Amino acid sequence: MPFVENLIAFTLAAALLTLTPGIDTALVLRTAAVEGRRQALHAALGINLGCLVWGAAVALGLGALLAVSELAYNLLKYCGAAYLAWLGLNMLLRPRRSLAPAQVEGQSSANWFLRGMLGNVLNPKVGIFYVSFLPQFIPAGQPLVAWTFGLVGIHVLLSLLWALTLIGATRPLAQVLRREAVILWMDRCTGLLFVLFAARLALSRR
């Protein structure tokens, strides 16, 4: 494919991937509705930093290692599944009933940033996806590292735009979404979703 067609094709494919509901969408929506827009933005930034970490790893060769090493893949896969299960069980067993204003504004944003980042960094499927998907859109003879970072950058930009859309969509419903029953329901649903994602990741095969 010519240069421009490669970029257009990848952008369309990455957009479809971004819009597909998954754990990143669940985390941003839940955080925006319950914790507030600031925390949701930090979670989204963490998620996308995780993508950039994987992009750098793939560009520098770690992605190829995960593609051929069963031990490295399984180790990271089970660490990621354990982390997702821990997040999900905490939401299921200890759902919040209310949020004081101080909690919404004063809660550590770094905490949500780290949660978003670790959710992606500990998911080897992101690395496997990049190492298997990106090369299809890199023209022959072009610098691999530069193109890898460029394509990952497009994916990250699309993900950030989608996260901002999700965060903005929760604003009109803020009062409803912060009611006790709604907070309990969202925590438990998101927790269950995270546990299911953890099980799916742990049981997945390449």
* Structural domain of 112: 3-203
Please measure the distance between the N-terminal and C-terminal CA atoms of the chain and give it in whole angstroms. Answer: 28
pLDDT band at 15 (very low <50, low <70, confident <90, very high): confident
Q: Give the chain's mean pLDDT.
A: 79
The shares of helix, strand and coil residues in the chain, as percent rounded to the nearest 5, are 85, 0, 15
Does residue 98 register a pLDDT over 70?
no
Does residue 21 register a pLDDT over 50?
yes
What pLDDT, in 10s, does the model give residues 131-165? Answer: 767 777 777 777 778 888 899 999 999 999 999 98
pLDDT at 34: 79
pLDDT band at 128 (very low <50, low <70, confident <90, very high): confident
Buried b (16+ CB within 10 A) or exposed e, 97-129: eebeeeeeeebebeebbbbbbbbbbbbbbbbbb
Contact (Cβ atoms closer than 8 angstroms) between residue 26 and residue 194: yes
Whichever domain contains 14, its CATH number is: 1.20.1250
Number of structural domains the chain divides into: 1
